[in-house]
Amino acid sequence: MAGQIEQIRVFIRVAELESFAAAARDLGVSRSIVTRYVGELEDELGVQLLVRTTRKVSLTVAGQVYLDRTRPLVEDLDRARDLVKQQQDTLSGEIRISAPVSFGQRFLPDILHEFHLAHPDVQVKIEMIDRFVDLIDEGYDMALRISGPPSGVSNIWRKIAGVPRSIVASPAYLETAGTPQHPGDLADHAFLAYSHFPGGTALQLSHQETGETTAAALNHWFETNSGEVIVALADKGCGVALMPNFLMSDELKNRRLVPLLSDWSAPAIWLTAFYPPYDKMPAKVAAFTSFVEDMVTANPDMLK
C-alpha cells in the first residue's frame, strides 16, 4: 500500500505540473522513476490517467476524476504525518506510564509537579501497578520498574539507580525467635515473602568482604505482592523480611525494624526505565525519564 501511495503522489505532481520532467525535478527523482510509477499506477487501475504529447501532459477524464478524489486523501495523509511527527519531536500530547505502587506513591508526586510546571502541554497518565506490564500489547509509552537487572528482554531499558534493600525484623520478633547470625539460620525463622522478587524457597546471599556465596533456605508462611503489607507485618513481629530500604525508612530510623546479617548482600535490584522498541524515543518520554533521573541525583538518599 505504501508503494501505491507513492505512485499516487507522483501522479498528482505530474498532473499539477503537466510535465514528467518538471515533476521529477520537483520530487528529486529521475524522470524514469516518475514514468515507471505512473505506468504502474495505470496498469493497476486498468485505465489511462494521462495523455502524453510532445508539448505537455494532460489528464484524461478518468485521470481528472482520480486526481480530484486522491489529492485530498494524500493531503490528509501528509497532515497526519506532520502531526504525528510534531508530537514525536515536541513536548506535547499524552504519555502513558506504568510505575510500581510503593515507589509511585512516595516519589512521583514531586516528580510530576516539576514535570508539569516545565511541560504543561504533556498529559500524563500513570497507572501504578506492581506487575510487569506488556508495554506494546497494553499501550504504554514507558514503565518504571524495581527489579533485578534486566536479562533476555526485548524492550529498551535504562538503569536509573540501584535500590538498596535489607533483611530486617522487629526487636520483639528477635526477642522471641532469636537473631540469625548466619544465612543458614534463616531456615529457622518465619519469612515474609514478596512475590515480585523471585527466589522461591532459597535466597542467594554473598558476603561483602570475602565474596562467599550461599543459598539461604527460607521458610515463608506468608507471600504477597504488597510491600507495604510485608513491612507492616514485620513491624508487628510476624517474621523476617527482605525489602527495599525506602519502603521501611521510618521503621529503620525509629528502630522498629532492625537490619540482620549486615555483612551479607542479596542480589542487586534497580530502578529501571523500560521502553517499547522505539526507532526514535519520543521527546516527552525522554524528558520524563530525565526528570526521574534528576530527582534521584538531587536526592541521593531517597532510595536508601
Residue 183's pLDDT is: 96
What are the tens digits of pLDDT across the range 245-260?
Answer: 999 999 999 999 999 9
Residue 64's nearest CA partner among 86, 81, 47 is: 47
Residue 89's pLDDT is: 64
Q: How many CB atoms lie within 10 A of CB 174?
A: 17
Looking at per-residue confidence, does 84 or 230 come out higher?
Answer: 230
Grid cell of 33 as nine digits = 522513476
pLDDT higher than threshold 70 for residue 269: yes
End-to-end CA distance of the chain: 54
Banded pLDDT at 237 (limits 50, 70, 90): very high
**Please, what CATH class does the domain formed by 93-163+270-298 belong to?**
alpha beta
Q: Could you say which DSSP state residue 18 is in?
A: T
Banded pLDDT at 280 (limits 50, 70, 90): confident
Domain 2-85 carries which CATH code?
Answer: 1.10.10.10
CA distance 146 to 225: 13
Domain boundaries, the chain: 2-85, 93-163+270-298, 165-265
Fold identical between 2-85 and 165-265?
no
CA distance 11 to 63: 9
| Helix, strand, or coil (residue 177) | helix
Q: Give the domain 165-265 fold.
A: D-Maltodextrin-Binding Protein; domain 2 (3.40.190)
Q: For residues 187 and 156, is the Cβ–Cβ distance under 8 A?
A: no
Q: For residues 146 and 247, is the Cβ–Cβ distance under 8 A?
A: no
| Helix, strand, or coil (residue 82) | helix
What are the tens digits of pLDDT across the range 71-98?
Answer: 999 888 888 877 766 665 668 889 999 9
pLDDT higher than threshold 70 for residue 137: yes
Banded pLDDT at 2 (limits 50, 70, 90): very low
Banded pLDDT at 103 (limits 50, 70, 90): very high
Residue 304's pLDDT is: 82
Looking at per-residue confidence, does 228 or 82 come out higher?
Answer: 228
Residue 230's pLDDT is: 95
Once rounded to an integer, what is the mean pLDDT over residues 180-189?
A: 95
